[in-house]
Amino acid sequence: MSDKLRFDCSKCPGYCCSHERIAVSEYDIARLAKHFGLTNAEAKRRFTYHYKTKEADEQILRHQRDHVYKSICRFFDTEERRCTVYEARPNVCRKYPYGTRCGYYEFLKFEREHQDDDEFIPSA
């Protein structure tokens, strides 16, 4: 199997950025703070919220409204469909989709070919 990436994020409307819980570490918050010229505490307050259940205890990136997915990462440009903090993005974003394939990209590519529309975005 080839190690070559089999997806193109520039052709996706930002599916991974619409995940409900985008957990960030203290290191990620520090990177964002540096990017915006803020203290770590101010970045944490402005950009994240604390999420705690029996299964999880995380700092989560805040979201904003989106016309495609209803809700998306606060750092996502909803018109250009691109990350606005790409160089400072959290580790979870850097690692996604954790391999050479992205299931959503494959689904999207199939649907766009089937619909004969390069801009088609399937609704949920």
The pTM of the full predicted model, rounded to 2 decimals, is: 0.80
Cα–Cα distance list, 38 to 29, 33, 41, 45 (Å): 10, 5, 8, 11
> Residue 7 — pLDDT band, cuts 50, 70, 90?
low
Q: Determine the Cα–Cα distance for residues 51 and 72; give it in Å rounded to an integer.
A: 17
The per-residue pLDDT for range 10-38, each reduced to its tens digit, is: 778 888 899 999 999 999 999 999 999 99
Strand ranges across the sheet with 48-52: 23-24, 57-61, 48-52
Q: Determine the Cα–Cα distance for residues 84 and 82; give it in Å rounded to an integer.
A: 6
